[in-house]
């Protein structure tokens, strides 16, 4: 299967990286806020009802998943881990009756970026019209 995958055109590779970086910036910022706990809560932000002792661990897990996703050799594993993490975010938002489309969209963008930049994934999941 390794010989069957053709390298991506340059535009597809770079577009994939741009699409990859966008959710990563959002997730890195979120993870850092969980680790640092700046002491302020955005006005109108939802109370996610997580214990304070768990917030640090969630931030660490979030940043670790992003780091695994950004390395090309482990990107597929990182995308799977981020899908699980964002699935938990969707469940949390549903539980508190908050709109859940943001983590859902972020998860789709994670996979779209990886699909564009990884020929192995495109060979495994071909787009058929």
Does 4 reside within a domain? Answer: no
Mean residue pLDDT of the chain comes to 86
Does 67 reside within a domain? Answer: yes
Pick 2 or 39 by higher pLDDT.
39
> pTM, whole model, 2 decimals?
0.84
Does 5 reside within a domain? Answer: no
According to the model, what pLDDT value does residue 54 have? 85
Assess whether pLDDT exceeds 80 at residue 62.
Answer: yes
Does 8 reside within a domain? Answer: no
State mean pLDDT over 94-98: 89
Token pair of 84, please? 């699980």
How far apart, in whole angstroms, are the C-alpha atoms of residue 57 and residue 50? 11
Does 59 reside within a domain? Answer: yes
According to the model, what pLDDT value does residue 116 have? 92
Task: Please state the domain count of the chain.
Answer: 1
Range of 107's domain? 16-38+49-124
Does 129 reside within a domain? Answer: no
Render pLDDT for 14-54 as a digit per residue (tens, 0 to 9): 999 999 999 999 999 999 988 887 666 655 456 667 777 78
How far apart, in whole angstroms, are the C-alpha atoms of residue 64 and residue 57? 11
Does 105 reside within a domain? Answer: yes
Q: Residue 125 carries which DSSP code?
A: S
According to the model, what pLDDT value does residue 79 have? 96
Does 10 reside within a domain? Answer: no
């Amino acid at each position: 299967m390794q010989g069957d995958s053709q390298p991506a055109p340059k535009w597809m590779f770079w577009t994939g990286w741009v699409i990859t970086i966008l959710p990563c910036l959002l997730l890195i910022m979120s993870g850092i806020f969980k680790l640092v706990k700046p002491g302020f809560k955005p006005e109108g932000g939802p109370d996610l009802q997580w214990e304070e002792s768990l917030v640090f661990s969630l931030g660490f897990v979030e940043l670790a998943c992003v780091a695994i996703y950004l390395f090309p050799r482990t990107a597929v594993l990182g995308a799977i881990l981020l899908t699980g993490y964002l699935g938990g975010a969707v469940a949390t938002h549903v539980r508190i009756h908050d709109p859940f489309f943001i983590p859902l969209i972020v998860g789709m963008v994670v996979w779209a970026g990886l699909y564009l930049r990884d020929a192995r994934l495109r060979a495994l999941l071909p787009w058929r019209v």
